[in-house]
Amino acid sequence: MSTTAATRRVLGIDPGSVRTGFGVIEVTGSRSSYVASGVIQTGKGSFAQRLHIIYTGIAEVIRAHQVSESAIEEVFVSRNIQSALKLGQARGAAICACAGDDLAVHEYSARAIKQALVGSGGADKDQVSYMVRAILSLQGVLREDAADALAVALAHTQHDRLSAQIASNKRRAIP
């Protein structure tokens, strides 16, 4: 399917060095619909091999679903600096896959994603998952990483709609 100005495919990515979630939605106007989601499992190989699996997995998703733009969750620094560094490298592998297909990469904090979907930056994962299923009219349970990735994609579309509305309001306000 080719994308037009009115229809686009957005890839959301929830990076992780063991499991990287992905979610693809199609956006037409203000309507978002589910295309695909899943988890790229990296296994127990060397860290370099795991990063390569993330890179190739995201590249395959982009091509298979004709993605036109991407969004990824930012790294938050926890107490374990080694975990944060590995998460940053997993993010880098996913970002490189997007850049390799000439996709702009939009980055959002976990708090901004929760705020966009639930209305509270302190929302828990169950609330986010519920809103993802409700917005996309999905039944059943989504894997946590896939639900988080779909949330990233949906937050990006919400951000785009808000930015477009603000721009429109500014144009109308200028005499």
Residue 145 appears among annotated catalytic residues:
yes
Q: What is the largest CA-CA distance in the chain?
A: 62
| Percentages of the chain per state (helix, strand, coil), in multiples of 5 | 50, 20, 30
Residues listed for the chain? 175
Residue 131 to residue 137: CA distance in whole angstroms: 9
The alpha carbons of the chain give a radius of gyration, in whole angstroms, of 16
Catalytic residue among 60, 73, 144, 148: 73
Catalytic residue among 124, 145, 148, 160: 145
Residue 19 pairs in a beta bridge with: 41
Of 134, 140, 131, 62, the closest CA to residue 94 belongs to 62
Residue 124 appears among annotated catalytic residues:
no
Residue 160 appears among annotated catalytic residues:
no
Of 19, 11, 106, the closest CA to residue 54 belongs to 19
Catalytic residue among 14, 26, 69, 148: 14
Active site residues: 14, 73, 145
